[in-house]
């Protein structure tokens, strides 16, 4: 019985250490939410805990190049832009980290949203260009919660 408990503790410690060293830059992921499909656009998001300086998306798929803008929550809908990813080429992207221009000061909901690079100038130009991407008739966006630690 002691050997089993000792083995369990050792395995748990290794898994915990591996999770901490996974390159998450201090962002801990929680409940996952996905929207979209790999035929057009998709965002795989997760509630997270961190310092409020950035968010991390486990996966993003774009059928054409664009950006992921993180919008503040405005009464249950996307509001002002808090931060924008670098220009992402079409295709599959893993561990997309988006720095927030102004760090969060308290726990908050945010809305990662894909925007298409409309005018080929490699600059995020919303609302005067780079319109939100759509999955059918729906905007490619998902709500997630950020808790500060």
- Stretch (H or E) spanning 88: none
What SS3 class is residue 104? coil
Question: Is-contact 116 126, C-beta < 8 A?
Answer: no
What are the Cα distances from residue 79, in Å, to 74, 127, 138? 5, 12, 17
Greater model confidence, 81 or 10 = 81
What SS3 class is residue 13? helix
Segment 6-58, tens digit of pLDDT = 433 333 333 333 333 333 456 666 778 888 888 899 999 999 999 999 999 99
* Rounded Cα–Cα distance for residues 143 and 110 (Å): 6
Segment 121-144, tens digit of pLDDT = 999 999 888 999 999 999 999 999
* Rounded Cα–Cα distance for residues 115 and 132 (Å): 4
Fold of 26-148: Immunoglobulin-like (2.60.40)
* Res 4 pLDDT > 90: no
pLDDT class for 63, splitting at 50, 70, 90? very high
The 3-class SS string of 116-143 reads ECCCCCCCCCCCCCCCECEECCEECECC
Span 60-77, average pLDDT: 97
């Amino acid at each position: 019985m002691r050997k089993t408990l000792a083995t369990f503790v050792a395995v748990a410690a290794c898994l915990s250490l591996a999770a901490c060293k996974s390159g998450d830059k201090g962002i801990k992921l929680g409940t996952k939410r996905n929207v979209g499909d790999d035929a057009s656009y998709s965002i795989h998001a997760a509630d997270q805990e961190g310092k409020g300086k950035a968010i991390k998306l486990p996966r993003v798929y774009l059928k054409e190049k664009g950006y992921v803008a993180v919008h503040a929550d405005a009464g249950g809908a996307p509001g002002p832009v808090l931060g924008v990813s670098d220009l992402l080429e079409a295709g599959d992207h893993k561990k997309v980290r988006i720095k927030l221009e102004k760090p969060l000061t308290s726990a908050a909901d945010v809305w990662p949203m894909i925007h298409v690079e409309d005018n080929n100038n490699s600059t995020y130009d919303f609302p005067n260009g780079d319109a939100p991407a759509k999955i059918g008739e729906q905007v490619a966006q998902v709500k997630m919660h950020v808790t500060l630690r």
